[in-house]
Structures are given as structure tokens and as C-alpha cells.
Amino acid sequence: MLTIEPVESRNSAVIQEIIADPEMAVTCDIPSAPPPDAASGWIARMKSLEEKGAGRTFVIVADGSVVGACGLYRIDREHGIAEMGFFVGKRYWRRGYASSAGRTLLARAFTGTGLRSVQASCLAWNAGAKATLKKLGFQPAHEEPPPPGSKFPPEERHQYWKLDREQWVMLEQTAKIPK
């Protein structure tokens, strides 16, 4: 059984353990050697975004254990867009947790918030993230260098993806998104 639950400060120890894995750091903008309080600081920033209406972050819980996190960020209600992000601890990779959590998150995004489009990005070589985004119905939009402030060098390519509500509804109705 997999659920997503609002991230709380009590989740900081397990999130810290996940992000401290060096193999996690090569897949995303998590610092290569996060300080011992990185998860606490991250959770505080996510809660601040939520208070401003610009984000909503959840932990991914499988069989009672936190296995990762997912959320909507840079929520722009005026234009009906947001960015989706997710990470799952290495020992939980390839079990469908990100896909399952992503389906739940997208259902909330498109049915409960009035969003018209959700975007996502990943490193161009990250086959696992790309497979998850494809499973969720996202379509590749473009590639470009990392965003400003990224730890990755300019020659590292980021792939940007997009999913519109109409596409998501059609996929859900035709059951093309695996359950």
C-alpha cells in the first residue's frame, strides 16, 4: 500500500538518510555532501512555500515506511501551472513508488487545484526519471543547460517535460496510465 502524506519535521531523519546517499546526489540538485541538517532546512523551505501557496510537498509512504518525497512547486495559480518533483531512496528504486506517488499527486493537482499544466525536469541521462515521467503521461518539451544556481555544469543537459490536464484526463479515462 502506497500513500502520500504532507511532509512534516518528524520526517527529517529519514529524508536526511535518503539524500545523504551519494548515488542520490548525482541524479538531482541535492548537494553532493549534504550537511547533517539539510533535510530539516529543506522541510522548512517546503513548509514556507506551502504557506505562500507556491508549493505542496509530501512524503511517499510504502508499507508504513517513508521511501521518498514528491511535490508541486512554483505553483502559479494565475496561469494554472506548477512544477512536479520527486525523489525515492536508492534502495527503493525500480519498484514503481515514484510512478504511483506521481499518479496520486497529479490527480490532486488536476482535480483539486485547478491547474491546467504540470511541468517536470530531469537530467537528460537519467533513464529512471524519464521512464517515470513517460509512465505518468508527460511529453518531452525541450532540453537545455541546467537552471541558474544548479550545481551541475552548463554542459550538463536537463530535459524538460510537460503534461496538460486534458492529456491527463484522456489517459486516465482510457486507463493508459498503469495503476
Q: CATH number, domain at 17?
A: 3.40.630.30
| Closest C-alpha to 6, from 38, 47, 52 | 47
Distance of CA 140 to the CA centre of its chain: 16
d(CA 175, CA 35): 43
Residue 93 lies in a domain: yes
Contact 61, 8 (CB under 8 A): no
pTM of the model as a whole: 0.91
Residue 41 lies in a domain: yes
Contact 50, 72 (CB under 8 A): no
d(CA 117, CA 138): 10
Residue 25 lies in a domain: yes
Adjacent-strand bridge partners of 139:
162
Cell numbers found for residue 34: 549534504
Q: In sequence order, what DSSP letters do the residues of 105-119 get, joined into one string?
A: HHHHHHHHS--SEEE
Residue 43 parent element (H or E): helix 38-51
Q: Which residue has the cell 536537463?
A: 158
Q: pLDDT tens across 101-120, in order? A: 999 999 999 987 789 999 99
pLDDT at 177 over 80: no
Q: pLDDT tens across 26-55, in order? A: 888 887 788 999 999 999 999 999 999 999
Residue 178 lies in a domain: no
Residue 127 lies in a domain: yes
Residue 54 lies in a domain: yes
Cell numbers found for residue 155: 554542459
Range of the domain at 126: 2-173
Q: Can you tell me the mean pLDDT for 129-133?
A: 96
Residue 128 lies in a domain: yes
Residue 179 lies in a domain: no
**Residues with Cβ < 8 Å from 48, sequence gap 6 or more?**
none
Domain count across the chain? 1
